[in-house]
Structure 1
Amino acid sequence: MEFLFGTLIWIFFLMMALGPMWQQVKINQKRFHLTRKFEKHRGSRLITLIHRQESFSFLGIPFSRYINIEDSEQVLRAIRLTPPDMPIDIMLHTPGGLVLASEQIARALENHQAKVTAFVPHYAMSGGTMIALAADEIIMDGNAVLGPVDPQIGQYPAVSILEAVRLKGTQKVDDNTLILADMSAKAIAQVGDFITYLLTDNLGEEKAREIADILSSGRWTHDYPINCEFLKKLGLPVSTELPAEIFAIMDLYPQPPQRRPSVQYIPLPYGKEEK
């Protein structure tokens, strides 16, 4: 009897451990099939760059994600596997990440010969915005946002470091702050030049430089949401005709389950007759 009870306990823990893994396998299969369906419909390759917190073990430990070198390696490999005359669709849902990784992805998309379309269902901030600007067209949800691309030096915005030195004067700050100020000036110039490079082919150098200065000069906080209307006023190729399939793909990248949901609703579309 004790042997049977012990065996049941081990089976229970084994199921607890393997259950989430099996669920992840099924989700991955659904992602693959929906992605292939979307690609066949558009005649393109779809690349998803989605950073959510997913539970990878039965302990339910979430891992925060951002654009890193591994992401750039994978995206660049996907682009290399795509024929030059095949359009690329890239789906972005990210808070940003490393400038180096973001620039590598953006440059590779800019160099792709066929049309590149960026889909933004919710938000693509910082490095995500940089990648979106490399596309020939940006298709967003009406409530989705991009963000500024002003560089950050450590935990501070580069423009704020420069402003602190300007207000206090170079004689009243230490050498470390002066070094950070020098790095900040270079970083702002580098990002501005890169955004200008991305936009010049579609908008011309003068307009591209104007937009680059607006987005990289630090006029807003780094998490400032830039909506579709403002992007259109800047002259960027932005549309709000986001395909329903994009939202369906996003549904397959769920946040980890919580004991008490912070948002709850009946997941059905309502018509006018529903009162």
Structure 2
Amino acid sequence: MNVGDLFWLFLIFGALQPAISQKLLEAARQRLIAALEAKRQSRVILLVHRQETMSWFGFPVMRYIDLEDSEEIIRAIHLTGPSIPLDLVLHTPGGLALAAAQIARAIRSRKSPVTVFVPHYAMSGGTLIALAADQIVMCEHSVLGPVDPQLGEWPAASVLKVLERKPASEIEDRTWILADQASKAISQVKELVREILHSHYPEDTVKEIADRLTEGYWTHDYPITYQKAKELGLRVSNEMPNEVLQLMALYPQPVRRHSGVEYLPFPYEKPAGRSAHSPGSIETA
């Protein structure tokens, strides 16, 4: 074998390596999903949106909940017997209201128990989906978010406040139209939240949660932590299965040129006293 042959082998391996790595990663996910399903005797579905990098230009593109996601999840639900519990892992910044509402209603109609796991965050439409579950499982630092409607770049609740603070003669026609749409949007989302919460919570709790999440009480990106979710009256638990966190590690963020986070990738569980160079322990003074 000469240098030319080695060069071509290197090129072929370099071209195939990303595809091989992706297949190995997918196989690892499938094995862990199967293990989690066997442990919980459930159907496990993941909705994971990572920031992706376009192959030619290299700038980041955020993924959101779209109609393709709702079609896939509803198809998976239809393939699941009515007596089998459903576990949905959510990691998403939100997305299209129609798609999130379809998923939430499909979950809401299940007769078997539905559990939503939020290992890191499920904002906006992701929160809407989580509300439809019988139980939401969060980590100590994972968050949900408000579901107040947004009209383009404007929060619907903020548009309505313009009508309260300015005389009618000083308000443009465009603002009146936006305000009309804002009022309808808030009413529709609030009705949807009440609908999906109705069978899980008392009526006064349903009203309190719906009002807080839809009327612009917080900014749209406000982080609703596990503790805040409990204060709202949501059925939340912090008993996150380790398999769910392991699954998230198999959805790596596209590699950036310079990472701002670095650490030794070993679990540190042993008490102090061993060498600081031994993985699995931290030596303290």
- Ranges in structure 2 where 5+ consecutive residues have no aligned partner: 273-281
In the alignment, which of 51, 70, 74 is matched to residue 53 of structure 1?
A: 51
Q: 1:73 maps to what in 2?
A: 71
Mapped contact 1:137–1:238 kept (Cα < 8 A)? yes
Q: Percent identity?
A: 49
- Between 132-141 and 160-169, the greater mean CA deviation after superposition: 160-169
Q: 1:272 maps to what in 2?
A: 271
For 1:114 and 1:30, the matched residues in 2 are separated by: 28
Paired residue type of 1:150: D
Q: 2:31 maps to what in 1?
A: 33
Residue pairs, 1:62-211, within 5 angstroms:
62-211=60-209
For 2:9 and 2:261, the matched residues in 1 are separated by: 35
Larger RCO (CA under 8 A, 6+ residues apart): 1
Mapped contact 1:20–1:58 kept (Cα < 8 A)? no
Paired residue type of 2:245: F
Mapped contact 2:52–2:63 kept (Cα < 8 A)? no
- Between 172-181 and 127-136, the greater mean CA deviation after superposition: 172-181
TM-score between both structures, scaled by the size of structure 1: 0.93
For 2:77 and 2:11, the matched residues in 1 are separated by: 42
Mapped contact 2:86–2:113 kept (Cα < 8 A)? yes
Equivalent pairs, count = 272
Mapped contact 1:138–1:237 kept (Cα < 8 A)? yes
- Ranges in structure 1 where 5+ consecutive residues have no aligned partner: none
Q: Deviations over 1:160-198 (max 9, x none)?
A: 111123222332222221111101001111111111111
Query: How far 1:204 moved relative to its partner?
Result: 2.1
Q: 1:249 maps to what in 2?
A: 247
Q: Deviations over 1:101-143 (max 9, x none)?
A: 0000000000011000000000100000000000000001011
Q: What SS class does the counterpart of residue 203 from structure 1 fall into?
A: coil
Structure with bigger helix share is: 1
Query: Per the alignment, do residues 165 and 43 of structure 1 end up closer, same or farther by CA in structure 2, a change over 3 Å counting?
Result: same
